[in-house]
Amino acid sequence: MNPLFYLADTLIFIGIFALLSLSLNLEFGLAGLGNFGKVAFFMAGAYAYTLLAHASLPFYLCLLGGIVVAGILGIAVTLPALRLREDYLAIVTLAFGEILRTIVKAQENLAGGVRGITVPRIFHLGSFRADTIANIELTLSCLILCFLVVQALAHSPYGRVLRAIREDEVAVKALGKNPVFFKATVLFIGSSIAGLAGGVFAQYINFIDPSMFLPSVTFLVWMMLILGGAGNCWGAMLGALVVELMNRGTRIMKDFITLPVDPNNLQYIFFGLIVILILLFRPQGILPEGPIQTAARKEAKQWISSSSTE
């Protein structure tokens, strides 16, 4: 493969996984919700986009359909677990990812089953280079838009309530706020962003099958957020950049270095060591909550304490 095209492909995948990392940062970094089924909403967006594209709908409606389907599934699946302990949400979302993948594998006529399904191309600009540049522009445009939305939410009164729920949900409930409502809305937004990532992924790859949406995708996104720094949008994107570069780097090592183990297995060893070291020596991540995020966090705590004394 041409090195320039390989770099372009890497840049696109960094953008796609940065979208997933941003969505998880919104759910876990701000609200403290452990969504371990991120791949389910990623897959829902990809398949919804693909099926709508086969129905000859315009591109933007296909993307919008993937966003809406993923968002609705996010609420429908997680809402029953939000009133229970936090670990139930992790269990429900993790199980839903495998259930959804099993359903898709069984749908031979609708979604192609285990054989997969092709995705119609949207860019026909006359050359592979022009199509690749268009995909880069699309991915980065979606990433910038979602980054601005998440940043705006994080620094709004809505974000202050999310941080307050993360710090002390019981106090927030005592102050008259409904934590379930805020949790449901943030899961809808986060799942919608994951659905957008799935649509961008499907149209770029031009082919999807259930084997692309394994639970390892979810854990990869968690690794990105833990490494970059939960609660910081810049940290979430930095984590996606570092992990994806390492992911691609270990794959091309076999072309230059003779290794006694498979490079694909070697990357999991690297990732495991990195997570352990980060959790031991810098649990807040490379880019922890900065002055703005820390001020917002303190503001949330002050809001809880001041309201409780009134």
End-to-end CA gap in the chain: 66
Question: pLDDT tens across 56-69, in order?
Answer: 899 999 999 999 99
The number of angstroms, rounded, from the C-alpha of 81 to the middle of its chain's C-alpha atoms is 20
On whether the CB atoms of residues 231 and 298 are closer than 8 A, the answer is no
Domain with 227, as residue range(s), is 3-309
What pLDDT, on a 0 to 100 scale, did the predictor assign at position 30? 92
Single-letter amino acid code for the residue at 97: G
> Taking 80 as the threshold, does the pLDDT of residue 85 lie above it?
no
Burial class from Cβ neighbours inside 10 Å (0-12, 13-18, 19+) for residue 202 reads: buried
Cα gap 57→52, rounded to integer Å: 6
Contact between 205 and 119 (Cβ < 8 Å): yes
Q: What is the pLDDT of residues 224-277, one digit of tens each?
A: 999 999 989 999 999 999 999 888 877 676 666 666 666 667 777 778 888 888
Q: What domain count does the chain have?
A: 1
Question: 175 to each of 31, 161, 167, 305, 306, how far by Cα in Å?
Answer: 17, 11, 14, 10, 10
Higher-confidence position of 304 and 198: 198
CA angle 14, 250, 218 (to 5 degrees): 50
pTM across the whole model = 0.89
What integer pLDDT is reported at residue 3 of this predicted model?
73
Query: pLDDT class for 17, splitting at 50, 70, 90?
Result: very high
Which residues are registered as beta bridge partners of 117?
Answer: 208
User: How remote is the C-alpha of 156 from its chain's centroid?
Assistant: 21
d(CA 227, CA 32): 16
- Residue 302 — pLDDT band, cuts 50, 70, 90? low
Residues 62-82 as b/e (b if ≥16 CB within 10 A, e otherwise) read bbbbbbebbbebbbebbeebb
**pLDDT tier, 87 (very low <50, low <70, confident <90, very high otherwise):** confident
Contacts with 151 (C-beta within 8 Å, 6 or more apart), sequence order = 233
Q: Which amino acid is at 128?
A: F
- β-pair type (117-118, 207-208): antiparallel
Of the ranges 34-38, 42-46, 120-124, 292-296, which one carries the lowest mean pLDDT score?
Answer: 292-296
Domain with residue 256: its CATH number is 1.10.3470
